[in-house]
Amino acid sequence: MALEAGSTAQSQNSEADQIVRRTANYQPSIWGDQFMNYDSEDTINYAHKQEEVDELKLVARREVFTTSGDDFSNQIKLIDAIQRLGVAYHFEKEIEEALEHIYAANHFHDDDGDGDLYNVSLGFRLLRQQGHNVSCGIFNKFKDSKNGGFKES
């Protein structure tokens, strides 16, 4: 038995020596090895970029949320643009204050207010999303009294 075990071990070693593997000749990656190396300059650049982002936030706060209170149509358009860009989470407090001011200024409490359908509907949506009680009666001035649909422009 000892002889048999030794001969099988020898046969396995000789088979392992005979295995020939082909090379694949892979082309080098188009990405190179840039993801394999860590560079400390990346952290320095990140800190610099973060400072730029903070400066741009301050500029946006100044430009967007310090406009005159009378120009509510421009303000709701800017709030809508900020939300659509996906950066509203940076300005939640300012958006809430601006919409509170617009709601308190009585722009959306009655259907006698001035404004076109776009501004009224945009303000309606933004105020409703913020949780304000805005009546759908503000759209009555845009409705046709005969058939109940919206008037043709």
Residue range 53-105, pLDDT digits in tens: 899 889 888 877 776 656 788 889 999 999 999 999 999 998 999 899 888 88
Q: How far is CA 68 from each of CA 74, 75, 102, 130, 146, rounded to the nearest angstrom?
A: 10, 9, 11, 21, 39
Which residues are registered as beta bridge partners of 150?
Answer: 143
Residue in the structure block whose two tokens are 């809430």: 96
The answer to whether 75 and 102 are in contact (CB under 8 A) is: yes
Burial class (CB in 10 A: 0-12, 13-18, 19+), 80: middle
More confident residue, 136 or 113: 136
Ordered domains of the chain (ranges, CATH): 41-142 (1.50.10.130)
Average confidence score pLDDT of the chain: 78
- The predicted model scores a pTM of 0.63
Residue 64: name the closest of 78, 48, 84, 49 by CA.
78
pLDDT of 10: 58
Give the SS3 label for residue 93: helix
